[in-house]
Amino acid sequence: MRVVRLSGLVSAGLLLSLLTAQAQPQTQDPSAGDPRRNQAAKLAGLAGFVNLECPGLRSDPARLKQTVEALGVDAASLETGDLHLIATRYIAAYQKDVAANCRKAEATFGPQGSIIPGLIVPR
C-alpha cells in the first residue's frame, strides 16, 4: 500500500454540490455529523486520487489548502486521524473507476472546472 500525503485546498460554497455526485465510502465515517469536515476529507481524497492515478494531472496544494480552510477545517488535520482515514477511503472509492473519475475530476476541478476551478491542474 502506498503512503499518500493529502494536501491542497478548494472553495467552500461550491464544494457541497460538487461532491454529492462523487464516490462515497462504504463505511460509517466519524465526521458524518459535521458536513464541512466530511467535505474537506472528500476533497483531500480526490486530490490524493488524482495525484496517484491521473496521468497528466495533479492537485494544486495551495488551492486545496485554501478551499479546506474556507470550510473551517485546518488543512493539517487531513494528514492524520479520522479525517486522514476518511480521505483514504475516498481515494479507494475513486480508484474503482480510474478513467471515469479522472475525467470527472478534470471537468469539475480542472482549470475550467465547473465547481472549483484550479484545484486540479496539468502536471
How confident is the model over 58-89, as pLDDT tens digits?
999 999 999 999 999 999 999 999 999 999 99
Residue with cell 455529523: 33
pLDDT at 18 over 60: no
pLDDT of residue 32: 53
CB atoms near residue 115 (< 10 Å): 18
* 99-108 mean pLDDT: 96
* Residue 1 included in any domain: no
pLDDT at 14 over 50: no
- Helices 81-94 and 35-53, axial angle in degrees (round to 10): 50
pLDDT at 121 over 80: yes
Residue 92 maps to a domain? yes
Question: Domain range spanning residue 99?
Answer: 12-122
d(CA 39, CA 99): 22
Total number of domains in the chain: 1
pTM, full prediction: 0.74
